[in-house]
Amino acid sequence: MLVVATAGHVDHGKSTLVRALTGMEPDRWAEERRRGMTIDLGFAWTQLPSGRTVAFVDVPGHERFVPNMLAGVGPVPAAVVVVAADEGWMPQSAEHLAALDALGVAYGLLVVTRADLADPRPALQRARAELAATSLAAVEAVAVSAVTGAGLPELRAALDRLAARLPAPTPEAPVRLWVDRSFTVRGSGTVVTGTLGAGRLRVGDELALAGTGEPVRVRGLHRLGVACDEVGPVARVAVNLRALARDRVARGDALLTPGRFRGTDLVDVRLVGDPVADLPATLTLHVGAAAVPVRVRPLGGDTARLRLGRPLPLLVGDRALLRDPGRHRVAGGVTVLDVLPPALRRRGAGAARAAVLATLDGRPEMAGELRRRGLVRAADLLRAGVPVTAAPVVGDWLADPEHWRRLGDRLADVVARHAREHPLEPGVPVEVLRQALDLPDRALVEALVRPPLRLVAGRVAAAGSPPLPEPVARALALVGADYAAHPFRAPDADRLTAVGLGAREIGAAVRAGALLRLTGNVLLLPGAPRQAVRVLAELPQPFTLSAARQALDTTRRVAVPLLELLDRQGMTRRLPDDARVVVGGFLVSG
Ligand SMILES: Nc1nc2c(ncn2[C@@H]2O[C@H](COP(=O)(O)OP(=O)(O)O)[C@@H](O)[C@H]2O)c(=O)[nH]1
Ligand SMILES: [Mg+2]
């Protein structure tokens, strides 16, 4: 389906032309018919000689209704610029053309109407000259009279050629249906209409309402007034929404494929038109069928940051226009460069951002996004209209390869420095690393841990390096000699101090599994209990504490807690008379 919007000054014959071509009445309101003037958007359609369908979005030409005109033109890929032969180029001819040019509309026709009232050539010539500098420079021109019918067959043929030239739409794209009308149908409920430029709609689909994010379900679909189960692009559609109050949706809202768009109220844009520095601080942004007030912050000669009065589901590469409603002026065309722009907090951040924006052209590209952002969630890129073609580093996180490598290096540096500064701690807690590297997610820290680093119990430590800090390892080597001679004698406090094992060092050694703490500072090597069971198994069973103490060549200070440990571990069993036996399995297997 070819969907075209009309454009041109009031009373130049737009609605009459649509009527003549379609036999349908585009002026829907009684007031419009009484006043003979289009106020709001009108819709009419017909078949072209080729069998194709053309649908018109007829717009008002009066300067008071330019916002309505823009809501009609915004989502439509092609336009028919209408100029009356007898009046020629007029103010809203210029303003409408400026709007089409700002939106980058490149497909259309120039139609000189009312050719029965005056020679169409001067008007045609002037209009051609005006179009020459715009996105519509190359369009075909036709002169017509809706009264005599002259030129209408040529116009139909030209519409057919236009339809054939338009780029093929993408049915697999997500849906963003800008609502240009909403109304209630008795017995059906709320219906919205729009131009489906891409994507596919089906009865039963769940969509999201852009304004509130609330889910809505498609109860029924009409394509040019005919009910159907499914509609592909490009088409004029009416969507009946299940259980949605009429006041929940209005022109400028949008129906969205869930999860594929994100409402944003902050965008960085390139402007073609007035120099950014000359713009008033407040303008109206028109995009799709929406119009929102925006505050403009210049960032460079032709780039700016726009703060929107309410969030809109915008994508990188979207075309929009800025208009000064007070001065009836299209200030410029907008290309959206970034829908998730970084905050500008530091001094000089604005200038730095301007330099970045100067390199952007609005073509969504993943590698560039990753380079600029370092890290970004895949869902955020997708919802900015950027195709995601790389695998996440962890979860939903995408990383620029170079940035990721540098983060890995920094992680190793922080772990090494921490090990030097806190030699008795077993590595760096993940959360500390997350903060040190200023990462948004702990999962990223864990994903950055690569050999020789390792993740143990929520901390990142260097593996391969000695399991214990140097001073502790040295002290253990000294007591190790003591244990070799008397494995069940615990060094006393003086000995521990002499080799340099203070409370912190002992704690580190115990955490690292290098020492076994029986109680307080009663320490043995970790293998001591098993070794003790082997010795005790040689004794006549049951055996007394005293017999055990002698066999183990140790003191009560060690023997008491050691036997209690063996009891707890089920290797020995204490009898009612306080004697013990080694538990059967340990007797046999040793
Ligand atoms: N003679 C003549 N009058 C026309 C022609 N087209 C439109 N008109 C008249 O011009 C006036 C404005 O037309 P309309 O379609 O409402 O203009 P719009 O404001 O651009 O939609 C109406 O009175 C029409 O009857 C035409 O081709 N020939
Ligand atoms: Mg009209």
How far is it, in rounded angstroms, from Cα 504 to Cα 502?
Answer: 6
Report pLDDT digits (tens) over 224-272.
Answer: 989 999 999 999 999 999 878 778 899 999 999 999 999 999 999 999 9
Q: Is any ligand 1 atom within 6 A of the Cβ of residue 240?
A: no
Most ligand 1 atoms within 8 A of CB, residue of 16, 17, 111 to mutate: 16
Longest dimension (CA), the chain: 130
Q: Is the CB of 12 under 6 A from ligand 1?
A: yes
* DSSP class per residue in 74-127: TT-SEEEEEEETTT-S-HHHHHHHHHHHHTT--EEEEEEE-TTTS-HHHHHHHH
Residue 339 identity (one-letter amino acid)? V
Is 147 close to ligand 1, i.e. is its CB under 6 Å away? Answer: yes
Reported as a pLDDT band with limits 50, 70 and 90, residue 423 is low
Q: What is the mean pLDDT of the chain?
A: 91
Cβ(93) to ligand 1 under 6 A?
A: no
Is 117 touching ligand 1 by the criterion CB < 6 Å? yes
Q: How confident is the model at residue 32 (pLDDT cuts 50, 70, 90)?
A: confident
Structure token pair of residue 443 = 């999962």
pLDDT in tens, 389-420: 888 899 999 999 999 999 999 998 898 888 77
Whether 29 has a pLDDT exceeding 70, the answer reads yes
Residue 18 CA: nearest ligand 1 atom is 15
CA dihedral 454, 457, 458, 461 (to 10 degrees): -30
Calpha distance 105→80 (Å, rounded): 11
Mean pLDDT computed over 133-157: 96
Of 268-272, 459-463, 485-489, 570-574, the range with the lowest mean pLDDT is 459-463
Which ligand has an atom closest to residue 39 CA? 2
What is the pLDDT confidence band of residue 581, given thresholds at 50, 70 and 90?
very high
pLDDT per residue as tens digits for the range 230-242: 999 999 999 999 8
pLDDT of residue 426: 73
**Which distant-in-sequence residues (6+ apart) come within 8 Å of 371 by Cβ?**
400, 402, 403
Find out whether the beta carbon of 468 lies less than 6 Å from any atom of ligand 1: no
Mean pLDDT of 345-369: 93
State whether the beta carbon of 13 lies less than 6 angstroms from ligand 1: yes
| Closest atom, ligand 1, to C-alpha of 12 | 20
The model's confidence at residue 174, banded by pLDDT at 50, 70 and 90, is very high
Q: Is the CB of 11 under 6 A from ligand 1?
A: yes
Number of Cβ within 10 Å of residue 541's Cβ equals: 14
- Per-residue pLDDT of 481-525, as tens digits, reads 788 889 999 999 999 998 888 888 888 888 777 788 999 889 998
pLDDT in the model for residue 586: 64
Of all atoms in ligand 1, which is nearest to the CA of residue 58? Answer: 21
For the cut 90, the answer to whether the pLDDT of residue 368 exceeds it is yes
19 lines ligand 1 (CB under 6 A): no
Band of the pLDDT at 9, cuts 50, 70, 90?
Answer: very high
- Whether 80 contacts 51, CB under 8 Å: no
Ligand 1 centroid–CA 107 distance in Å is: 24
Atom of ligand 1 nearest to the CA of 19: 15
Q: What is the mean pLDDT of residues 299-306?
A: 93
> CA-to-CA distance for 117 and 106, rounded, in angstroms?
30
The torsion angles phi and psi of 17, rounded to 5 degrees, stand at -65, -45
The per-residue pLDDT for range 328-338, each reduced to its tens digit, is 889 999 999 99
The mean pLDDT value for 377-391 works out to 93
**Residue 466 confidence (pLDDT):** 54
**Measured CA distances, 219 to 152, 173, 192, 587 (Å):** 39, 21, 12, 78
Ligand 1 centroid – CA 101 distance (Å): 25
Sign of CA dihedral 221, 165, 56, 294: positive
Residue 94's pLDDT band, with cuts at 50, 70 and 90, is: very high
Dump pLDDT digits (tens) for 196-219.
999 999 999 999 999 888 999 999
Confidence (pLDDT) at 589: 46
Indicate the SS3 state at residue 223.
strand
Give the pLDDT confidence of 447-458 residue by residue, as tens digits. Answer: 898 877 888 778
The mean per-residue pLDDT over the stretch 275-280 comes to 87
Instruction: Express as a percent the part of the chain with pLDDT over 90.
Output: 67
Query: Would you state the torsion angle of the CA atoms of residues 259, 261, 266, 267, taken in this order, to the nearest 10 degrees?
Result: 140
pLDDT digits (tens, 9 = 90+) for 159-173: 999 999 999 999 999
What spacing in Å lies between the alpha carbon of 230 and ligand 2's midpoint?
31
Residue located via tokens 């905050």: 343
Structure token pair of residue 42: 């009108």
Does residue 146 have its Cβ closer than 6 Å to ligand 1? yes
DSSP string, 328-390: TEEEEEEEEEESSPPP--STTHHHHHHHHHTT--S---HHHHHHHHSEEEHHHHHTTTPPP-S
Of 9-23, 93-107, 378-392, 510-524, give the lowest mean pLDDT range.
Answer: 510-524
CA nearest 469: which of 413, 526, 426, 524? 426
DSSP 8-state secondary structure symbol assigned to residue 541: S
State residue 485's pLDDT score: 86
So what's the pLDDT on residue 458?
Answer: 80
Ligand having the closest approach to the CA of 19: 1
Name the closest-CA residue to atom 10, ligand 1. 13
Q: How far is CA 589 from the centre of its chain?
A: 62
Among 378, 372, 310, CA closest to 338: 372
Residue 9 in contact with ligand 1 by CB distance below 6 A? no
